[in-house]
Structure 1
Amino acid sequence: MKKCDCLNFCGDDTRIDPYSESCVDYHHRRTAALKWLADYVPCWDPSATHIMRCTWHPVGYLFFADEITGTQGFAFSLEELDRERVRIGRSAFAAPPQKQNAVSEEARETLHNLAQGLDTLKRNANDAYDRNYIAAMLKDVDGLLTTSAVKGRLTMKAELTTVRKLNLTDLMGEPHKLDPVSVILEDFEPGKGKIIIECYGQSWSAYWGSMGGKSIANFFCRCDEHYIANKLSGISGDIPDYEALETSAKREVCRLRRERDLTGSEARDLYDDAGSFSYAECASDLNGRDMAAIFGQEWWHSIPDKPNPDYQYLCRIIKAVQTGIQAAGVLKVTEGSGHE
């Protein structure tokens, strides 16, 4: 392909195929196609940017979102077609509306989170170069959040929800043994709600989007404390008991010695080493060789468990909140009795 040098028709920006036809013949056919479209096309497709004359198509033309090159036809923009329509005495087509950048709520949230993360990195950066580099990135993110397209999309929405707050005090006695607890119950709509619990500087929250039409208060009081604890926090109900591991390891060493699976010196060494098991804070603190000699190759399955005091503490708080909600009289007796 080469650029056309014919300045009589469209300047030197039009590309033609020198092996198929002459420059003049090409422009004659292109001009004829433009005149035909200007006289024949009744309206412009608002979603299109170009139109192409296609003799093989039933209506003789096709609309495209972008200019088509390398096809068996002539493509024209809306501006070219309008100029020809005005030249032959017809009115120009209305320009298609400009596309706006649609920014979703997820994109907005992502940009805000990115801005907060960059701001934290900037405050914690020790090197001046790093601070300047992060500041430049933060400026770009702020620019995206303040563009007119984003502003038009991010119109503030105000919604009214039902919120109740409970303050539970005098919980030091049995069975709760707790500091004061504050509870926030928020109902967004029937069957959707959130709860926030705070006690002694710690807080837990959970959201339910399908509660069978119940309020958050009714749903919370009907659920088991273990289910709610797993929803509020990811802590486990049991933790390894390394003090009990020391006792079980010494007992197992004595059994192996009685059955002649260990020599006297081996049993004495293992028995003494087992005395340090109670100081372990995690499985990696244990001597794997000693544990394998006592309990076998999969020795980690032999570590005993004990109830997690943090988990039990949270369950006591949950039971106290359930009792407090019932005592405050915020339960709705008209709601369905089916268990969620």
Structure 2
Amino acid sequence: MNTVEIEPKLRKLKIKDADVFLEDYETGKGKVTISSFNYGAFTFYWGSMGSDLKDFLLRINGDYFAGKLSSNSYVFDAKGSTKNVRKHIREELSYELPRYKFMSAQKEMREAIKKLEYVSSNNEFVARMIDLPDNLMCYDLDYKEEREFKDIIEGVFKSEPWHFIAEKQSNEYNWLVGFHKYLQRALKASE
């Protein structure tokens, strides 16, 4: 079997703290490799671009570029997840859990929910959500009121806590979106 190796047309650019390697293979095929001291290395190969690599990179947008090169586009957002919990309680439980009912227990619950803003992963968030109703001390409530309160919030915290999980774009992704603009400027300047 005969194999034909195609030597790519290699172009190297220095943009900010990153080395960029653009490899044009045959028409419509190319690869980008970025090596950054602060963000690591990224690479992606396109097998069907419809043009040479330079024109393709000038045509695409930063989100597409970052989505292809980023290995971790989204990360867990603790503040956004906590915001989703608060919104659900405020909007969906306003009848079962009005502000004037179980006031001390609700205050303690709000303080426990605030601590969710500092968890570091979605697994930790889910575990804390599941444990939260059992860890609340309802000092001012009698047994019946405490049971009623905990039954209401267990439906929120224990049933499907992963539905509250929010994600945000990673720093890596955002860096690549911004870097794409610098890459486009460098490519235009080299014309």
Relative to the length of structure 1, the TM-score reads: 0.41
Hey, what does 1:166 align to over in structure 2? 13
**How far did 1:309 drift?**
2.5
Hey, what does 1:188 align to over in structure 2? 25
Change in Cα spacing, 1:266 to 1:193, as seen in structure 2 (3 Å) is same
Match of 1:293 among 136, 145, 154: 154
Match of 2:45 among 189, 207, 217: 207
Whether the 8 Å contact between 2:76 and 2:166 is mirrored in structure 1 is yes
Whether the 8 Å contact between 2:19 and 2:34 is mirrored in structure 1 is yes
Whether the 8 Å contact between 1:191 and 1:215 is mirrored in structure 2 is yes
In structure 2, C-alpha distance between the alignment counterparts of 1:188 and 1:257, rounded to whole Å = 64
Hey, what does 2:72 align to over in structure 1? 235
Change in Cα spacing, 1:294 to 1:162, as seen in structure 2 (3 Å) is same
What SS class does the counterpart of residue 313 from structure 1 fall into? helix
In the alignment of these two chains, the number of paired residues is 163
In structure 2, C-alpha distance between the alignment counterparts of 1:188 and 1:250, rounded to whole Å = 53
Where do 5+ consecutive residues of structure 2 fail to align? Answer: 134-152
**How far did 1:244 drift?**
4.1
In structure 2, C-alpha distance between the alignment counterparts of 1:221 and 1:240, rounded to whole Å = 31
Letter matched to residue 167 of structure 1: K
Q: Residue by residue, what CA displacement relative to the aligned partner does 1:91-139 show, whole Å, maximum 9, x if unpaired?
A: xxxxxxxxxxxxxxxxxxxxxxxxxxxxxxxxxxxxxxxxxxxxxxxxx
Structure with a larger share of its residues in helix: 2
The CA RMSD measured in Å over matched residues stands at 3.1
In structure 2, C-alpha distance between the alignment counterparts of 1:248 and 1:189, rounded to whole Å = 49
Percent sequence identity is 25
Whether the 8 Å contact between 1:257 and 1:264 is mirrored in structure 2 is no
**How far did 1:161 drift?**
2.8
Hey, what does 2:117 align to over in structure 1? 278
Whether the 8 Å contact between 2:6 and 2:26 is mirrored in structure 1 is no
In structure 2, C-alpha distance between the alignment counterparts of 1:310 and 1:294, rounded to whole Å = 36
Residue 105 (structure 2) pairs with residue 266 (structure 1) = yes
What SS class does the counterpart of residue 319 from structure 1 fall into? helix
Change in Cα spacing, 1:267 to 1:158, as seen in structure 2 (3 Å) is closer
Q: Residue by residue, what CA displacement relative to the aligned partner does 1:147-170 show, whole Å, maximum 9, x if unpaired?
A: xxxxxx8x99764331111122xx
Relative to the length of structure 2, the TM-score reads: 0.69
**How far did 1:313 drift?**
1.0
In structure 1, C-alpha distance between the alignment counterparts of 2:27 and 2:36, rounded to whole Å = 28
What SS class does the counterpart of residue 189 from structure 1 fall into? coil
In structure 2, C-alpha distance between the alignment counterparts of 1:309 and 1:282, rounded to whole Å = 16
**How far did 1:223 drift?**
1.2
Change in Cα spacing, 1:242 to 1:322, as seen in structure 2 (3 Å) is same
Letter matched to residue 176 of structure 2: L
